[in-house]
Each structure stands twice: as structure tokens, then as C-alpha cells.
Amino acid sequence: MSQGPSSPLTAARLVIARDLLLAFRRPEQLLQPLAFFVMVTTLFPLSVSPELAQLRAIAPGVLWVAALLAALLALDFLFRDDAQDGTLEQYALSGQSLTWLLLGKTAAHWLLTGVPLSLMAPLMGYTLGVPASAGAGIMLTVALGSLALSFIGSIGAALTLGVRRGGVLLSILILPLAVPILIFGSRATQLAIGGEPYTAPMELLGAIVVLSFTLAPLAAAAAVRISLE
Amino acid sequence: MTWTWFHRLGSPPYVYRLAGRLTPWFGWVAAVLLLGALYDGLVIAPPDYQQGDGFRIIYVHVPAASLSLMIYTSMAVAAAVGLIWRIKVAHAAAASCAPIGASFTVVALITGSLWGKPMWGTYWVWDPRLTSELLLLFLYLGYMGLRSSFDDLQRADRASAVLAIVGVVNVPIVKYSVVWWNSLHQGSSLSLTGKDTIATPMLVPLLVSILGFTLFFAAILLMRLRAEVLRRERAASWVREALSS
């Protein structure tokens, strides 16, 4: 067995590079959450009303619920492939800190789902009658919110490894914990659309990111070890 | 200071017998306290100057709501003990907590909405306190769902323990939601440090009722724990001896 890289940070970086490479070899999987996000958003003009004034009023909620559901859908395959082909087992045995390796995996997952979602969100907002000037704010809030969701969701994804029909269970486990993200995220988006300063909810969102970024990988690593037993 | 009492709590037959001995004590004291508190609260205590007799639902609502949080915390502590020291009885205790806590959460939500109809004019509002209490119910349901989705008992114990510990973040959110957000739900009338904002004749039955419901929870928990230990240890010889005698 070869000697692994010494620093946990290097190991996490290598995991990110590997996951990005794997994902770009199969880009259709990347597009699925994005397509889901667009489709859910499209349902609202069809079901509520195509009137822009009405759509603009519900736009923050629509964007956030759609982004949350799309990110949840993507979380289902955060660890699944690596658990099935034994990669996670190798990670656990590698002697590197599993926490750092999972932090890398989750960060890569965010780069592959959260970032595209946050780039798409202003565009979908525009179709809902949101002024283009709010685009940067929407992008920023969705990016931060999806980062927190990726980390919190990694716990759920690790817990439901090896569970039959784990996808539905994953949503039930994670949604109650994701509610604060939804509250502050949609509030920030609402303020951004209204052209008001949205730093206060953004700071709370940032606090959630810091909290989940530091604690969630520990819980996820514990959960992965349990699933490997 | 010896830790034998703690180690003995890890032994299923000991816990089974201890729980059996303690159950009637908790149960009967709870029954006496609850009957007294309900009589005092529903009959003797004066009606509220604003809410009339409607306020009397607090003698069920407040204990149920505070127990819903306390049971979740107990469950998480039991789960952490089971995870850290690998004590199977602690996992059994956590598993026994969940359905009781979920029931108390449902009771708190139902009594709250029954009170809300005459007072607020609606059974339900999307208020921080109500919403976070509903989320607490979902956490309980998620915990039970995760537990039941594993065939292997050990994995079910350990995975659900991680979830219970993570879910503790919701407990302070429910507790302080009335303070942090501008909530329709009234603030707490009880205070450990400051002055209570409730008249003494109304306060006494409330405190007795909280104590009574807590002991009631303890009795139910011990009964469930006994059943859970029996179910887990059904292959052990002490179970056959205990049940045949």
C-alpha cells in the first residue's frame, strides 16, 4: 500500500479533483438536478397564474423550494456510487482523516450542484418577473444556502447509505434541519428583489454555513463508519 | 467514588428488574399528582381575567410541550451514551423515548390549536413556535423512520443515534422561538431566575401538573424500556427465567 499524502488538506483537495473529473466524464448526471430545478419552477406559472405581478410576489419562495428540492435530489447520489464500488471503504481504511475526505467530497458535490443551481436561479427568477438587478443577490444567497444544505445533507446521505428506498427517507430526515436555510435564504432573496439591503439574513445564512461546514463532516464521517460496519 | 452503579445500568437483566420495581412508584405518584393538579387547575384555580376558563388548557398543553422538548433531549443523551460507551440498554432507552416524545408533541400541537381557535380565531397559524414544534414532530418521525428502515439492530441503533444528536439543534430553536422572533405565541409564564408572570393560585397546579406529567413519562418510559429489553434479549436465558418465574 502506498503512502498517502501527508496533509489532510491535500487529501481533501485530491478528493475534490477526483470527484470533479468523474462528474465531467458523465455530464448528463450533472444536468439532472438543474433540469429538475427548471421544471419545478416552470410548474408555478402554469399552476398559479402566468401574471408577472403575482409571480414576482411568490418568486423567492418558488426559487428556494425548487432549489432545495433539486439539491435534495442530488444529495441522494452524493455517497451512493462510492459506497457501492467500495471507494468509501478504501477512504475509511486509508489512514487519512475520513472527516476531511468527506469534507472534500461534499465540497465537490456543492461545486457540481450548488454552483450550477445558483447560476441558474437568477435566470429562472427573471422568468418569474424578478428585476435583473436582483440577479447578483439571488445568486449569492442560493450559493450560500446550497453550500449549507450540502453539508447538512451529507449527514443524511451518509445515514441512509444501504437503506432500501433511501431517497424518500433522506428528504424526511434533512428537510426539518434545512428549514432555517430556507427561511433566511428566501428572506434574503425577498429583500434583494425589493432592492433593499439583505446583509442581515445573509449573515445568518453565513453563520449556518460555518456551523454546518465545521460540524457536519464529523457527523457524516461517523455515519459512514456505521454504514461500513 | 465507584462507578459500579453506572456499569450495572449497562446490564439488561438488571435494568429489566430495576425498571420493573420503579414503574409502580413513578406511576402511582404521577397518578396522584395529575389528579390533584387537574382538580386544582380545572375547578379551584380562578378564571383568567382575559382568557376566562380557556386558559385552563395550559395544565395539559404546557407540560406536554415542555416534555416534548425534554424527551427529545433525553433521547439524544441516551443515544450519545449508547454511541460513546456502546451500551445497548442506552440505545433501547433512546428507542423507547421516541414514540412517547412524538405523542407528547402531537398532544401539544392539538391542545395548542384547540386553544388557538377561541383565542386567536384560528386553529393554526404559521407562527415560529408552532412551526418549530411541528418540525420537532418531523424529527421524531424521521428518527423512527430511520430506525425502522434497517434490518440490523446495531446499525439501526447507531445510525439513529447520530440523527438524534444532530437533531438537538432544533431544541433551542423551539425553546427560544418566542423570544427570537416576533411570535403570536405568548412568552413563557414560568421563569427559573426571574419572577413568574402568573398568579400563584394558577401557578401551583401548573407546576404540580408538569411534575406529574414528567413522572408519568418516566413510568411509561420504564414500561416501554422493559418491553424493548425483552424484545432485544429474547434469545437470552435470563429472559426465559424472568418470564417463567
Q: Do A226 and B155 touch (CB under 8 A)?
A: yes
**pLDDT over 80 at B178, yes or no:** no
Whichever domain contains B107, its CATH number is: 1.20.120
Q: Is residue B222 part of a domain?
A: yes
Q: Given this model, what pLDDT does residue A5 score?
A: 53
Q: Which residues pair with B52 in a beta bridge?
A: B48
Structure confidence by residue, pLDDT tens digits, A128-148:
988 888 889 999 999 999 999
**Is B5 inside a domain boundary?**
no
Domain that holds residue B91: 21-244
Look at residue B223 and tell me if it is in a domain: yes
pLDDT in tens, A93-104: 988 889 999 999
- SS3 of residue B48 by DSSP: strand
Distance separating alpha carbons of residues B185 and B125, to the nearest angstrom: 10
Of B138, B149, B170, the CB nearest to A163: B149
- pLDDT tens digits for B190-234? 665 556 667 777 888 889 999 999 999 999 999 999 999 999 988
Quick check: A190 contacting B, CB < 8 Å?
A: no
For B138, the closest of A162, A169, A172 (CB atoms) is: A172
Q: Is B156 on the interface with A (CB under 8 A)?
A: no
Establish if B125 belongs to a structural domain: yes
Q: Where are the domains of chain A?
A: 8-228
Q: Which of B70, B61, B171, B172 is nearest to B116 (CA)?
A: B61
Task: Kindly report which listed range (A96-100, B6-10, B173-177, B212-216) carries the lowest average pLDDT score.
Answer: B173-177
Residues of A whose CB is below 8 A from B146: 159-160, 163, 169, 173
Inter-chain residue contact B145 with A159, CB threshold 8 Å:
no
Residue type, A83: A
**Tally of CB atoms within 10 A around A28:** 7
**Do residue A163 and residue B165 have CB atoms under 8 angstroms apart?**
no
The shortest CB-CB distance from A229 to any of B155, B169, B173 is to B155
Q: How confident is the model at residue B241 (pLDDT cuts 50, 70, 90)?
A: confident
Give the largest CA-CA distance in chain A.
63
Residues 6+ apart with CB under 8 A from A210: none
| Neighboring chain B residues of A162 at a CB cutoff of 8 Å | 155
> What residues in A contact B166, CB-CB < 8 Å?
155, 177, 219
Closest CA to A191 of A204, A210, A176, A175: A204
In the numeric block, the cell 422561538 is attached to B177
Name every chain A residue with its beta carbon within 8 A of the beta carbon of B138: 172, 175-176
| Residue of B166, B169, B183 to mutate when probing chain A, most A C-beta within 10 A | B166
CA–CA dist B190, B19 (Å, integer):
32
In this predicted model, what pLDDT tens digit does every residue of B135-161 receive, in sequence order? 899 999 999 999 998 888 989 999 999
- Average pLDDT on B55-84 reads 92
